[in-house]
Amino acid sequence: RGHRRRRRAPRERRLRADPRRRAGCARPGAADARSPAGHRGADLPAHAADARCARRAARARSGGRRSIGRADRPGGAPDADAGGPGDHGPPERDRRRGAAESAGALLGGRVALQVGRPGAGRADGARRRAVRHEVNRLAWLALAVALLAVASPATAQPCPDCLEAGAARVPLAVPAGAPLAGYGSLARRLLIPDVRGRHSHAFWFQPSRGARDELAARALVLESGGRRVAWVAVDLLAVDQTLTADAERRLGAAGVRPATLILSASHTHSGPGAFVDSTLLGWLTLDRLDPAVREAVLGAIVGAVRQADAGRRPARLATASVTAPGLVRSRFGQPLDHELLVVKVTSARGEPVALVWNYAIHGTTLGPRNLRLSGDVMGEASTLLERDLGVPVLFVNGAVGDVSPGRHGERATAEVGAELASAAHAGWVSATPIAPVLEVGHTTVALPVARLSVRNCLRGWAPRPLTVPLGSVFPRETTLTAVALTDTGWVTLPGELQTSLGRGIKEASGLRHTLVAGLSNAYLGYLVTAADYERPTYVSCGSVYGPQAGGCVAQAAAELLGAVARGAGAVNARVACDLEGAAR
Amino acid making up residue 79? D
108 is a domain residue: yes
d(CA 395, CA 409): 21
pLDDT tens column, 58-110: 555 554 444 444 444 444 444 444 444 444 444 444 444 444 444 443 333 44
543 is a domain residue: yes
pLDDT tens column, 203-262: 999 999 999 999 999 999 999 988 999 999 999 999 999 999 999 999 999 999 999 999
Q: Of the ranges 50-54, 119-123, 512-516, which one carries the lowest mean pLDDT score?
A: 119-123
Per-residue pLDDT at 181 exceeds 70: yes
> What pLDDT does 495 receive?
96
Task: Name the domain boundary from 64, 99, 117.
Answer: 117
Strand partners, 179: 207
237: left (phi over 0), alpha (psi -120 to 50) or beta: alpha
Task: Name the domain boundary from 117, 148, 181.
Answer: 117
Tally of domains in the chain: 2
Task: Name the domain boundary from 88, 117, 146.
Answer: 117
End-to-end Cα spacing for the chain: 99
342: left (phi over 0), alpha (psi -120 to 50) or beta: beta
293 is a domain residue: no
Amino acid making up residue 63? G
68 is a domain residue: yes
* Predicted confidence band of residue 138 (pLDDT cuts 50, 70, 90): low
| Cβ proximity of 267 and 359 under 8 Å | no
> What pLDDT does 25 receive?
53
> What pLDDT does 152 receive?
43
180 is a domain residue: no
d(CA 30, CA 511): 102
Strand partners, 123: none
21 is a domain residue: yes
Domain that holds residue 445: 437-584
46 is a domain residue: yes
pLDDT tens column, 540-552: 999 999 999 999 9
222 is a domain residue: no
> What pLDDT does 552 receive?
95
